Amino acid sequence: MRHVFFLMFCASPVLADGCPTAPDHRAEMDPLYQALLVAPDEMSARLITNEMWGYWDNAPDEPSQSMLDEGMRARARFDFVFALERLDALVSYCPFYAEGYNQRAFVNFLREDFEAALPDLERALELNPRHVGALSGRAVTLIALGRDDAAQSALRAALDVNPWLPERALLKTPIGDDL
């Protein structure tokens, strides 16, 4: 009987197949990215970005969604140890899901471990180059690391996607340049 239970447990789809491919939300997201570029004000852009988060936070399957949700809840209550444990598990399980890396970077940013945050932001952007949260997160992480030139470049890339980001206040406009 124990042998049958062991076989059933090991044959479960999650353990046998690993994380499925992340949902492809390009059809839903493309109009949102376009809307950001023509948003009339910061509040309108924030509403669009909030809608985007609904797609970014849509994990590939139930186990990965659980890991993401648990990690984000732990982060919200400043339990960074548990948050990192859940997000480490998520990126191990779903190495092609950008939001796992983005959320782990955010936890490390809050812990002021900027060196740990940066590679996760880079990976999130490899997987989703227009992820506004990862783009702006990369810019503020580079600022925190004192890498001003790279930070300004990263901030400009983020503003190319969402010109209404609150981080736009961190942009240093060179004399004679108009944005």
pLDDT at 175: 45
pLDDT at 163: 96
Residues of the chain short of pLDDT 50, as ranges, are 1-16, 175-176
pLDDT at 58: 94
pLDDT at 141: 98
Instruction: Give just the sign of the alpha carbon dihedral 84, 88, 89, 93.
Output: positive
Cβ proximity of 137 and 106 under 8 Å:
yes
pLDDT at 77: 98
pLDDT at 11: 31
pLDDT at 174: 61
pLDDT at 13: 34
| Helix residue ranges per DSSP H, 11-131 | 13-17, 26-38, 42-56, 62-76, 80-93, 98-110, 114-127
* Token pair in block for residue 130: 């227009």
CA-nearest of 132, 138, 133 to 152 is 138
What residues contact residue 110 under an 8 Å CB cut-off, 6+ apart?
75, 78, 80
- CA dist 172 and 158 (Å) reads 14
pLDDT at 173: 79
**pTM: predicted TM-score of the whole model, two decimal places:** 0.86
Q: How many CB atoms lie within 10 A of CB 43?
A: 10
